A and B are shown apart, each in its own frame.
Chain A
Amino acid sequence: MQSLGIDVLFKGTNFLRLLSGLWVAVRISLISVSISILVGLIVGVLMTSENRILKAVFRIYLEIVRIMPQMVLLFIVYFGTTRVFGWNLDAEIAAIFVFSFWGIAEMGDLVRGALISISKIQYESAMALGMNGKQVYYYVILPQTIRRLIPLSINLITRMIKTTSLVMMIGIVEVLKVAQQIIEANRRSSPNAAFGIFAVVFLLYFLICWPISRLSVSLEKRWS
């Protein structure tokens, strides 16, 4: 039986190239997730507002993100803006923009959920103890909200990393693209390399996302 491509992995700098491809995906997701968390916190607080216009705007925003596949958004931003505005957007910027657009909605919704899950009684009790509005937020509401949010935000990181695999569709050379290139380059010498290489990519993604999602689950258990 012919080799299944593990040897190809150790030829030259192939493995390093795979890892640097993975880093491209991880880098895009880390930047997007940071933007999402920061802006999402503000958006989430705004979402609890009673203002009707604000409410309607956020509802539409959330529904767009809920229904449109990220891939479609990616295409609209990457190909659409070139056509309409004549922008020559860098693919990575387009990706960060789309994933942040998506992540801010997700994060905002999580923040909103966490804020409204704290019962009204707590605000009232704190007030009754003589705290002012600022103190109530600082000592009572925020600590609980943050505890609830940390595991959920960590979970958002893994979802972001998984979603960034889509960027190969707009021409960014990330781990899957590098894998294809390696397989293509070694087609003659080891025609079965696809098995080994794709299995390794599968495993790499798992090795990144699994610990992060375990962390999120264990924090959630500890703090609930």
Chain B
Amino acid sequence: MDLDVMISYLPLYKDALLLTMRIGWQGAAIAVVIGLLGSAGIHFKIPIVRYMVYAYTQLFRNTPLLVQLFFIYFALPKIGILVSPEVCGTWGLGLLGGAYMTETFRSGLDSIPKIQSESAESLGMSRSQVFRYVILPQAVSSSVPGLVANIIFLLKETSVFSTISLMDLMFTAKDLIGMYAKTIECLVLLVIFYLIMLLPVSVLGDLLERRLRHAEFGD
């Protein structure tokens, strides 16, 4: 392994990491927003909306991100919807993640037994109070493990962005290998940079889960 070569590659990898992280986290943020809206639509049984949410989650959970990105990036321009690679990556990831987040939040909301909301109502709480003080706090804590898993999943999925010519970590590694054939150095750097991106999330996620387990009702 040639350390000097690796050091000379560092700035390129750093730029790629920043791009990958920016798109990854923006996508995850969009996913959380979509997930909240979608799960609310299903939980409150809003007519029509719940069927649309259902169709959307099934469609995006049962197709690979790569195919979704190809569709957005190469197919949509043919009917006049042109998007830049970055917008495509962000929204592709957001839409994929939104489908997963919707499921996670929905099962969080569903995990609270009906008897709790009935008891709360019999104590004289209004429906909005029941939701705010009884359902929501518990739903949030039971959704956290799923949320963390989804975020890690989404950040990992960013590795396909090179196919829509975004200069992410994969793209940089492949490009450098193609130009200078320093395969081992490039692959080692690739692993290190993915660790920098994902290890903190994994560790923090574990801590958060352990902390929130205390907040659960009973047991």
Contacts and interface: CB of A to CB of B under 8 A. Distances in A.
Contacts of B76: 195
A137 interface: no
A5 B71 CA distance: 13
What's the dominant secondary structure at chain A's contact region? Answer: helix
A194 interface: yes
B183 interface: yes
A192 interface: yes
Interface string A1-37: 0001100000000000000000000000000000000
B40 interface: no
A192 B77 CA distance: 9
Q: How large is the interface on A (under 10, 10 to 19, 20 to 34, 35 or more residues)?
A: 35 or more
Contacts of A80: 183-184, 187
Interface string A50-84: 00000000000001001111111001100110111
A67 B152 contact: yes
Interface stretch (B120-128, B194-202, B210-218): B194-202
A213 B173 CA distance: 35
Contacts of B68: 202
A12 B140 CA distance: 54
B163 interface: yes
Interface string B157-176: 11110110000001001100
B201 to A, nearest CB: 9
Contacts of A201: 67, 70-71
Given A71-B159, A71-B170, A84 B74 contact: no
A192 B81 CA distance: 13
B71 A199 contact: yes
B187 A63 contact: no
Contacts of A166: 64, 66, 160
Interface in A108-138: none
Nearest to B155: A69
B61 to A, nearest CB: 7
A176 B69 CA distance: 11
A213 B162 CA distance: 29
Interface in B21-52: none
Given A63-B202, A198-B75, A69 B62 contact: no
B111 interface: no
Given A67-B202, A202-B68, A209 B63 contact: yes
Interface in B72-114: 74-79
Interface in A181-216: 183, 191-192, 194-195, 197-199, 201-202, 205-206, 209-210, 213
Given A79-B187, A199-B71, A201-B67, A210 B62 contact: yes
Given A84-B184, A202-B71, A76 B62 contact: no
Nearest to B170: A71
B58 interface: yes
Interface centre among B75, B152, B158, B184 (most CB of A within 10 A): B75
A70 B156 CA distance: 8
**A-B pairs, 8 with minimum CB distance:** A69-B159, A209-B62, A71-B159, A165-B64, A195-B78, A198-B75, A162-B64, A83-B183
Given A75-B187, A198-B71, 13 more contacts: A67-B156, A67-B194, A68-B191, A69-B194, A82-B183, A162-B63, A183-B74, A194-B78, A195-B75, A198-B75, A199-B75, A205-B64, A206-B59
Interface of A: 4-5, 63, 66-72, 75-76, 79-80, 82-84, 158, 162-163, 165-166, 168-169, 176, 179, 183, 191-192, 194-195, 197-199, 201-202, 205-206, 209-210, 213
21 contacts: A66-B152, A67-B152, A67-B156, A67-B198, A71-B160, A76-B191, A79-B177, A80-B184, A80-B187, A83-B183, A166-B64, A166-B160, A168-B66, A169-B163, A176-B66, A183-B74, A194-B74, A201-B71, A202-B71, A206-B59, A209-B62
Interface of B: 58-59, 61-68, 70-71, 74-79, 152, 156-160, 162-163, 170, 173-174, 177, 183-184, 187, 190-191, 194-195, 198-199, 202
